[in-house]
Structure 1
């Protein structure tokens, strides 16, 4: 069941917590994939959106999916890359926000993406650039099922969250120089592959949906203070078994 709507005070408090968490995470050594998953999770929890996804440049001119709130969203983000069309694609290449409050009117603009997104139940899409000055490193995509537009306040909040992540990533790039950063991003992309493999292992072992498998994987790591990518590698290489992660998930659920 969906969570009840937040009161104004609850929303303000959670937004403050989100910004503090994002800022704290980016101060020291951090896992890019986990930070970006936090970003899309905050957008879904705190803003009037059904799902969120994020594409980033791999420094060679290609876009990669690095974070999504659901498996359904990940597939749509991949479809944007495959077809070279969609809100995130346009946003990254223009460096400016993209807002389409009614996907039914976007068939001429995105003849393949618009009907595909509509078939998944989405009625509107918004893309916000992860940009600092002239450098655009990616885009945050918000998906919506209601027909009324997202408020300007929510879009400004999403942009501010994206800006916080962007500043942290680009600051790290400036410190480590471009060649080191390319390696860092390649590691993040490699970790993304590991995470997808680990999700598949858990989904098959526990007869879970991919979203449930990801939450089980992430929850296991957080309860132990272990990075998401490290847990994924342990699972894929057999250092921990799927049963260990699944049993931990069931115990956690029973306590909540």
Structure 2
């Protein structure tokens, strides 16, 4: 576990120093939460310049639904985490229906029964939240919370890497850019899934493999697909097995 976490941290840190782009770094963070920390799914919410909480990325469609729901109804552990800047843990959502009367039943219906929400901070202020979703209720071990905090810090750095008074302003700009990139990336993955007659998860793997193997940022590949300059048929379908 320690070796896998360390390897994930190295990969994410490497992404901060090259030109992979925000979507790739954020994907690595959410992937590490699932593959290394054992979450069933993960989502990342950020605050835009108008103070509106927005979904930036999610590990799968169920997580995307749960995160979008929180942002839309302004209720849930990640929303509380963003507003307060504090860790929010719900070990059993069946006991949280009074606290979150709309969110808790919807999350359980989606298959999630425990949540750990970790704040993203920049210059001491909460700017977002990393949400770990679990299929089964259970206590949150301290090592996992500590690791999630470290991953949340890397996610924040991935969106704002300027050590100056413009960091918060730049974070807002890049948050909006990440939201827009997520929308275009989702469109690109959908086009690949439809064009190759495969499911969305396999399409995502193929697009990401193409970006990595050609040393091109994900958002550039996504734009090439949506603009028609890169056809789904031109991608390597064997990557779906990677």
- TM-score, with structure 2 as normaliser: 0.91
Aligned runs of 1:142-221 on 2, under 5 Å?
A: 142-172=132-162, 174=164, 181-221=171-211
- For structure 1, which segment, 15-24 or 180-189, has the greater mean C-alpha deviation from structure 2 after superposition? 180-189
Correspondent of 1:81 among 52, 71, 74: 71
**Equivalent residue for 2:45?**
55
Aligned runs of 1:1-256 on 2, under 5 Å?
A: 11-172=1-162, 174=164, 181-245=171-235, 248-249=236-237, 251-253=238-240
Write the distance in 2 (CA, Å) between the matches of 1:209 and 1:178.
38
Write the distance in 2 (CA, Å) between the matches of 1:66 and 1:192.
7
Q: Which 5+ residue runs of structure 1 have no aligned equivalent?
A: 1-10
Write the distance in 1 (CA, Å) between the matches of 2:167 and 2:98.
42
CA-to-partner distance for each residue in 1:91-123, whole Å, 9 max, x for gaps?
101100110000101111111111111012111
SS in structure 2 of the partner of residue 80 of structure 1: helix
- For structure 1, which segment, 168-177 or 76-85, has the greater mean C-alpha deviation from structure 2 after superposition? 168-177
Q: Which 5+ residue runs of structure 2 have no aligned equivalent?
A: none
1:194 touches 1:232 (CA, 8 Å); kept in 2? yes
1:50 touches 1:145 (CA, 8 Å); kept in 2? yes
SS in structure 2 of the partner of residue 220 of structure 1: helix
SS in structure 2 of the partner of residue 171 of structure 1: coil
Write the distance in 1 (CA, Å) between the matches of 2:130 and 2:169.
25
| Alpha carbons of structure 1 residues 119 and 139: separation in structure 2 relative to 1, 3 Å | same
- For structure 1, which segment, 94-103 or 201-210, has the greater mean C-alpha deviation from structure 2 after superposition? 201-210
2:45 touches 2:129 (CA, 8 Å); kept in 1? yes
SS in structure 1 of the partner of residue 161 of structure 2: helix
1:87 touches 1:98 (CA, 8 Å); kept in 2? yes
**Equivalent residue for 1:3?**
none
2:69 touches 2:103 (CA, 8 Å); kept in 1? yes
1:56 touches 1:66 (CA, 8 Å); kept in 2? yes
- TM-score, with structure 1 as normaliser: 0.86
Q: How many residues align?
A: 242
Write the distance in 1 (CA, Å) between the matches of 2:111 and 2:177.
34
- Distance apart, 1:132 and its partner CA: 3.7
| Alpha carbons of structure 1 residues 45 and 219: separation in structure 2 relative to 1, 3 Å | same
| Alpha carbons of structure 1 residues 135 and 121: separation in structure 2 relative to 1, 3 Å | same
2:56 touches 2:175 (CA, 8 Å); kept in 1? no
